[in-house]
């Protein structure tokens, strides 16, 4: 669970490369493109430009190299021939493996001009992510992260998905600890310098309940309300945190 300085260096590289995929793909997210086309572009870039492995491909049977979740899809959407339309919102989730270590990050994209409702949800979910990240420091707990995210989302009359959470990450895609996006301050695992994990809140415009589609992967809101998610890989440092997947346009 605690990474050595050498392992942290490899995590930092993997995280930086994962962030580059989200930067690269932005110009391709527009009306008329299919999520399969986005998958193919990302796959080619990850393999041939970055010399990395796309971690989702064949992970527990997942058939594609990225996850693409549209509108009321919460997470784990499978790229296919669905064509993006104006006013869609889209989460693209990228995980790459470089030198045996994982970098995991996701971002929301607007397809054309978003609705007022969609923009508010996406912006608030990003704020929830930042609130969770800013909670990270040695001595804080997993419960502190979840409680701060939950309080912020529910104060704004949105709901937090319970069934999926952030996770430790390193040589393995999913390690301990689990990072819930709801919870009670002071409870759960205590954070220590050298831990690496993802924070990836899934926030719904409507109710928190979800269901999984017959493909056994795609998660959707039960009430068909919009859902948004942002994700970063975080390192616990001596006096706080480092965002290993941060993009140049971000300030966290």
pLDDT for position 123: 98
pLDDT for position 215: 97
Band (pLDDT 50/70/90 cuts) for residue 77 is: very high
Residue in this structure with the two tokens 């109710």, named with its chain if needed: 207
All structural domains of the chain, each given as residue ranges with its CATH number in brackets, are 5-243 (3.90.230.10)
For Cα atoms 92, 101, 90, give the angle at the middle one, nearest 5 degrees: 5
Residue 224 corresponds to which tokens in the numbers above?
A: 């068909």
Q: Provide the pairing of β-strand 232-236 with 67-70.
A: unpaired
Q: From start to end of 141-218, where are the E strands?
A: 159-160, 166-168, 175-179, 196-199, 202-204, 210-212
pLDDT for position 19: 98
Q: Which long-range contacts (CB under 8 A, 24 or more apart) does 147-151 make?
A: 147/182, 147/183, 147/184, 147/185, 148/185, 149/181, 149/182, 149/199, 149/201, 150/181, 150/182, 150/183
| Residue-wise pLDDT tens digits, 216-250 | 999 999 999 999 999 999 999 999 999 999 999 99
Instruction: Judge contact between 102 and 122, C-beta under 8 A.
Output: no
Torsion of Cα atoms, 83 then 107 then 205 then 226, to 10°? 10
Band (pLDDT 50/70/90 cuts) for residue 42 is: very high
Band (pLDDT 50/70/90 cuts) for residue 23 is: very high
| Residue-wise pLDDT tens digits, 195-211 | 999 999 999 999 999 99
For the cut 90, the answer to whether the pLDDT of residue 1 exceeds it is no
Task: Please give the model's pTM, rounded to 2 decimal places.
Answer: 0.97
| Residue-wise pLDDT tens digits, 136-186 | 999 999 999 999 999 999 999 999 999 999 999 999 999 999 999 999 999
- Chain centre distance of CA 44: 21
Instruction: Judge contact between 67 and 104, C-beta under 8 A.
Output: no
For the cut 90, the answer to whether the pLDDT of residue 9 exceeds it is yes
| Residue-wise pLDDT tens digits, 85-132 | 999 999 999 999 999 999 999 999 999 999 999 999 999 999 999 999
Instruction: Report the distance separating Cα 103 and Cα 44, nearest Å.
Output: 17
Instruction: Report the distance separating Cα 47 and Cα 26, nearest Å.
Output: 18
pLDDT for position 98: 98
3-class secondary structure, 197: strand
Average pLDDT of every residue of the chain: 98
């Amino acid at each position: 669970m605690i990474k050595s300085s050498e392992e942290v260096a490899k995590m930092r590289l993997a995280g930086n490369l994962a962030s580059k995929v989200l930067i690269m793909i932005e110009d391709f997210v527009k009306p008329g493109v299919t999520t399969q086309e986005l998958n193919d572009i990302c796959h080619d870039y990850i393999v041939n430009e970055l010399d990395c492995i796309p971690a989702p491909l064949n992970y527990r049977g997942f058939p594609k190299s990225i996850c693409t979740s549209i509108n009321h899809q919460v997470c784990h959407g499978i790229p296919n021939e669905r064509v993006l339309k104006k006013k869609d919102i889209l989460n693209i989730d990228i995980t790459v493996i470089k030198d045996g270590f994982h970098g995991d990050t996701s971002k929301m994209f607007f397809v054309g001009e978003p609705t007022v409702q969609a923009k508010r949800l996406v912006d608030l979910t990003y704020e929830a992510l930042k609130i969770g990240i800013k909670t990270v420091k040695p001595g804080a707990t997993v419960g502190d992260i979840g409680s701060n995210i939950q309080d912020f989302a529910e104060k704004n009359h949105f709901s937090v998905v319970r069934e999926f959470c952030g996770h430790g990450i390193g040589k393995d895609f999913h390690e301990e600890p689990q990072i819930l996006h709801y919870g009670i301050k002071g409870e759960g695992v205590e954070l220590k310098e050298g831990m690496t994990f993802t924070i990836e809140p899934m926030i719904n415009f409507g109710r928190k309940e979800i269901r999984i589609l017959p493909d056994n992967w795609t998660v959707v809101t039960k009430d068909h309300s919009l859902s948004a998610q942002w994700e970063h890989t975080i390192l616990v440092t001596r006096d706080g945190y480092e965002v290993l997947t941060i993009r140049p346009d971000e300030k966290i």
